[in-house]
A and B are shown apart, each in its own frame.
Chain A
Amino acid sequence: KAGVTQTPRYLIKTRGQQVTLSCSPISGHRSVSWYQQTPGQGLQFLFEYFSETQRNKGNFPGRFSGRQFSNSRSEMNVSTLELGDSALYLCASSYGGVPGELFFGEGSRLTVL
């Protein structure tokens, strides 16, 4: 079956702009999580959605937001971009429930100039 799909794969923005990233989970998966990966901080949890509800949120400023649609697809938005937001943003999906196997997409690489 198709894996987790993230779009766009690469994008370049300038400071102050906003960006929306999209994630289509594996069919049947109801949980979607987002992570930010940078060389300095490593992998950091952003938020998790389950059945359109935010179930958990990491320690990121309010400029980072997300949502999940009824078909389990998810989007995350970063407003007023800063240089430090340059990162690989990874989306992961799972069935939900007990912490288990996360299926990751290839990520969206954001560069902020």
Chain B
Amino acid sequence: AQKVTQAQTEISVVEKEDVTLDCVYETRDTTYYLFWYKQPPSGELVFLIRRNSFDEQNEISGRYSWNFQKSTSSFNFTITASQVVDSAVYFCALSAKEYGGSQGNLIFGKGTKLSVKP
């Protein structure tokens, strides 16, 4: 079974639309970390956010917001008023000792490819 599931393989929206990328994770650990990364066509993954399992506050950073819900094991990512430059593949990731989690060992979902059309 996948430990990090991103059910949406591809999403296409028109500029200025809001879009939510879903992420569901699985772990028995009580302490774990969740991440979102962005991979533009250049290939280099770019860190967006980290949350630890004890912090369920939603976070907003500009047009980006994240909704962490332990009750549903979800960590969803919303882009408000999307722009063409948001086009990329977005990955959700998990670090948990159950899976040998350490500084550099993250379990990544399969990614969601977001295309924003002008």
Residues of A within 8 A of B (CB): 3, 31-33, 35, 42-45, 48, 50, 55-56, 58, 88, 90, 92, 94, 96-107, 109
Contact = CB atoms under 8 A, between A and B. Distances in A.
Nearest to B111: A42
Contacts of A92: 45, 104
Contacts of B91: 43
B104 A104 contact: no
B50 A99 contact: yes
A32 B103 CA distance: 9
B41 to A, nearest CB: 11
Contact of A106 (B43, B50, B108): B43
Contacts, number: 74
Contacts of B37: 102, 104
Nearest to B4: A42
Interface in B71-110: 91, 95, 100-110
A56 B106 contact: no
A63 to B, nearest CB: 20
A86 to B, nearest CB: 15
A58 B105 contact: yes
